[in-house]
Every structure is written in C-alpha cells, then in structure tokens.
Structure 1
Amino acid sequence: MTQRRSRRRLLSWIPISIVALICVGFVVAALLMQNSWWIDDDRPASADQQASDGMSMLTDPGVDYLTRKGILRVRVGEDALPAAELGLEADGSRTFEPLTPVQAVVIADDGAFYVDLVRSFTVTTAGGRVESVALVRETNGDWLSMLPVLQDAAESWGWTDEDLARLEEDLTSAAHEGDGKQYSAQLGPVEHNGALSSATVDVDLDSSEVTVSFVVADAGAGS
C-alpha cells in the first residue's frame, strides 16, 4: 500500500514537471529572440549573412537574413565577388527558396534589375564567378495575369513594347499547339545594363499556375 501511494505521488508530479519544462523553454526562447537579429532591425549583418560588398551571402544564415530583411542582392559581371566568398561552389547551380517572397535586386556592370515577390531563385556559377541569376515569380490563372508584372518590369529589364507584344503572340501560338495544357514562351534575351536579360513564361492550365523566370546573365561569360 505504501509503495502504491508513493508511485501515485510520483506520477502526479510528472505532468506538472513537463508543463514546467515547457514554460522554461518558452521563457528561454523569448529571451533569445529578444537578442536575435530576426526582430532587431538595427543589428548589423554578420560575415556569414552579408558579403563584404553588401551583397547577400548565399549560405543558410545568409538566406535566413535576406528573408528577414525581405531583399535579395546579387551582383554579376566584372565587379562580382568570387563565388567562394558568397558561399557558392566554383561551378554549378543552387536553388534557394526563402520562407516568404522577397524583392530581388541584381546588379550588373551598368545598372540594376528588380523583381518583387520572388518565390525562389537559382544562382549559377562558372569558373568561380556568378554567371547568371534566375528569379521565379508565380501567379494563378492564365498568362494574362502575369502580363502586368512583365509590363512593370520592362523598363528596368530593357524590354520594349514590341518585345512584350511578340511575347503575347508567342504565348497565344503556343497555347494552340500540342494539348494546350502546358506551354511556354521566352522574352529576350536582350543586352541591358551591361548584362543579358530574359524571361520565360511557363503556363500549366491543369494547376492554373503561371510561372515567370526572370534571368540576368553575365554578358561576358563564355567570351
């Protein structure tokens, strides 16, 4: 009987102990968060979050940081840092998916390119340098839903009204070819801001999804 009472007494403390540990965990997490850059806008970026030239570090901490700030910054061209200094391999492609959409700024030799609400991005390197950056934006519906996005981006990407009209024609033609459920068309590439800019529109009617991949490539790559 005494052992049974002792066991009951011990078991009665277990839930209380678990609750206490959970509460302590919340307190510790709150204290850590108070000192975290996730909520401190004034805290400067660390070396593994931002490169020496102010561009985004493409490491796990760097992607966390650019997600928190809401801005991706990448440089292509002669002034770009070596891939290794950005946390990238010398040759290859890496795709990143921030937790939330971000604004992207790609700086080339003679200017910059901008895209909002980027859901994912791919950075390709060759010879130890950034060769190209692809920025993916998505929307629902048909390709007409993405047309205003392309029109807004046209000025900073070097596309003319004629380029956009040709893209519309190509998409309309592609929609009537094959099964009409999945089709795509490309805009560019054109030389702009010292780089090559292009975009590919992919339409999937089964999922009502339209994806645009904006690409900035180093104009001197391969030359």
Structure 2
Amino acid sequence: MKLGDSVSGGTSVAALARKRARRAWIPAALLVVIICGVGFITARVNGSWWAVPVTAPSADQTATDGMSTFTKPGVDYFTRSGVVKMQLRPDATPPSDLGLPASGETVTTPLRPLEIRVLGPEGAFILDAVDSFTVWSENDHTVAVEATYAGNGEYGEAFALLERLGPNFGWTEADLAQLESDLVVDQRTTQGDRYSARIGPADAIGAHVSATISVDLTASGTELIFRVAVEAP
C-alpha cells in the first residue's frame, strides 16, 4: 500500500498520519498550559503576604510591651508570624490600646491555626493549633482568654491533650476521671445531640485555668476549649 492509498472507510493513510501528527501536539500543548498554570499560581503565592518572611514587627503591629494588637496591621502580623501574645496582668497594656473594647467580648477566627501565649501573673499558658479565640475585657483590663483547639475532632486526641497538660495547670488524675464521669452523666440527661463537661478551674500561673470538652453526635466531632481568667482589678 502506498502513502496515498485508502484504508477501510475511505480515509487515506496520509490523512491518518496527519491526524496522528496533530494529536501528537496535544500532550505538548497541554503540558505548556499546565506549566503556565503552575507558574501563575507560584507567582500569585510568591507575591502574596503569606510568602513574605516574618520580620521584626513595626510600631503599629504590636504593643510597646510586645503583646499582640487587634488593629488590621496587628492581625496581619500575628497571622503571618503564627503567634498571638496576650497578658492577664495588672500592669498589662489596656485593651483599648490593643484595638479591643474597654469592656466586652472579642472573637477572632484567624485564617490559619495559631499558637496562643497567655501571660499570667505567675507564668504562661501556651497552646499550639488554635483555630479561634475570644478575649474578654472589663474596665479596660483584659480579664479572660478562651482558645479553641484545632484538633482532628476525635475524643481520644482531645482527652490525651488534657492528660498531657493537666500537671501544668493543677488538674489531677481524679479531676480527669471526674470529667469523664460528668460527660457520661450529661450524655444521659441531655435531650439534644451535644453533651459536654468541664475540668477546673484550677489555680495556675496566677490565674484560673479550665477546659470544656464537648461531643457533638451529629457532627461526630469533639470540641475542646481552654479558658484562662483572672479577677478584674
């Protein structure tokens, strides 16, 4: 058979060859598109503030004592650095100077999980992987911070974290056993699909430290919220 001869269906070998040649360009063209797409995404990421190296904060990004602020520059900085710093001390910077209300409740849900450091009068509470936190202020003093742990939603992981942190905050094995007992009781007596129990508060770092564990049967998830509080001056 010569190059110009026909095959079944009346299509010439030459025509088939030309079609194969055209199809051979398709993967190469797709590769160019994919490479260009990856290059575009990389350029977008490299050009965003997420990729900017963390440097020393400017004057409008933290308070004079190094604590986090809740102005736009302050939120941008602690989101990029991955660390939020708060004080529950009588001489701490007033909430009104941090971009918070003098009295009230402020809920923050960062763009990514953060580490939170709460400095009490006698020590610090540090928790990694926090996906939201709430700050309470009263008479221009910060009096409480709550932090929601961004775990995998499993009860075993949440309880293991409480066991690990317990010695630091005065929670005994008896307290942990009571927590599980209280959970069972609340599950039996609660009409809905969510039940919870609290451990503490115990006195640690010069503050009252407690934790609430909640189980949601509908969502098949466990929520763990830590609370650090002091008496208002």
TM range (shorter): 0.7 to 0.9
Report the Cα offset of residue 185 of structure 1. 0.5
Change (3 A) 1:207 1:139: farther
What's the TM-score, normalizing by structure 2? 0.75
Runs of at least 4 residues of structure 1 off by over 6 A?
none
- Tell me the distance in 1 between the aligned counterparts of 2:192 and 2:111: 32
Please name the residue that 1:70 is paired with.
82
Contact 1:103 1:114 in 2 (8 A): yes
What's the TM-score, normalizing by structure 1? 0.78
- Tell me the distance in 2 between the aligned counterparts of 1:156 and 1:63: 29
Paired residue type of 2:86: V
Report the Cα offset of residue 138 of structure 1. 4.0
Contact 1:174 1:180 in 2 (8 A): no
- What percentage of residue pairs aligned between the two structures are identical? 39
- Tell me the distance in 2 between the aligned counterparts of 1:173 and 1:144: 18
**1:48-67 counterparts in 2 under 5 A?**
48-67=60-79
Contact 2:113 2:150 in 1 (8 A): no
**1:132-151 counterparts in 2 under 5 A?**
132-140=144-152, 143-151=155-163
The alignment's C-alpha RMSD in Å is: 2.2
Aligned pair partner of 2:174 in 144, 159, 162: 162
For structure 1, which segment, 193-202 or 57-66, has the greater mean C-alpha deviation from structure 2 after superposition?
57-66
Contact 2:113 2:131 in 1 (8 A): yes
Of structures 1 and 2, the one with the larger relative CO (CA 8 A, separation 6+) is 1
Please name the residue that 1:123 is paired with.
135
Paired residue type of 1:201: I
Aligned pair partner of 1:102 in 108, 114, 131: 114
Please name the residue that 2:52 is paired with.
39
| Residues 1:186 and 2:194 aligned together | no
Give the number of aligned pairs: 191
Flag structure 1 segments of 5+ consecutive residues without an equivalent: 1-25
Deviations 1:33-91 (A, max 9, x none): 49x685223x2212222111111112232122112111111110213111111111101
Contact 1:198 1:215 in 2 (8 A): yes
**Bigger radius of gyration among the two:** 2
